[in-house]
């Protein structure tokens, strides 16, 4: 079950054992809230296609990003992002 979260979470992939193509090493991903996945030791990660997948939590390290970088990951039109600057 997904639960709402007030601030987005992001993480860097540090391992992709058995999945060399995805997620990509050293790439920042948005981590979506998913309590069920977390209890199982997984992260629900949003990939480049806009789809989300479960990956082992130990493959990622949480990171704090500057607001402008966070905003670039969130779904919004380009004009909305430009107006918020």
Each residue's pLDDT expressed in tens, for the chain with a length of 85 residues:
444 444 669 999 999 988 777 899 999 999 999 999 999 999 999 988 889 999 999 999 999 999 999 888 877 544 444 444 5
d(Cα 52, Cα 44) in Å, to the nearest integer? 6
- pLDDT, residue 2, reads 47
d(Cα 85, Cα 73) in Å, to the nearest integer? 15
Residue 4 domain-assigned?
yes
Residue 83 domain-assigned?
no
Residue 49 domain-assigned?
yes
Residue 70 domain-assigned?
no
Residue 14 domain-assigned?
yes
Residue 56 domain-assigned?
yes
Q: Into how many domains does the chain fold?
A: 1
User: Residue 32: how many CB atoms within 10 A of its CB?
Assistant: 15
Residue 51 domain-assigned?
yes
Range of the domain at 49: 1-65
- pLDDT, residue 49, reads 84
Residue 30 domain-assigned?
yes
The pLDDT tens digits for 15-27 are 998 877 789 999 9
């Amino acid at each position: 079950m997904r639960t709402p979260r007030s601030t987005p979470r992001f993480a860097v992939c540090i391992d992709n054992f058995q999945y060399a193509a995805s997620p990509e090493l050293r790439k920042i991903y948005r981590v979506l809230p998913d309590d069920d996945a977390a209890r199982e030791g997984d992260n629900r990660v949003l990939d480049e296609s806009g789809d989300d997948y479960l990956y082992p939590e130990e493959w990622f390290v949480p990171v704090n990003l500057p607001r402008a970088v966070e905003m670039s990951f969130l779904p919004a039109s380009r004009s909305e992002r430009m107006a918020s600057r």
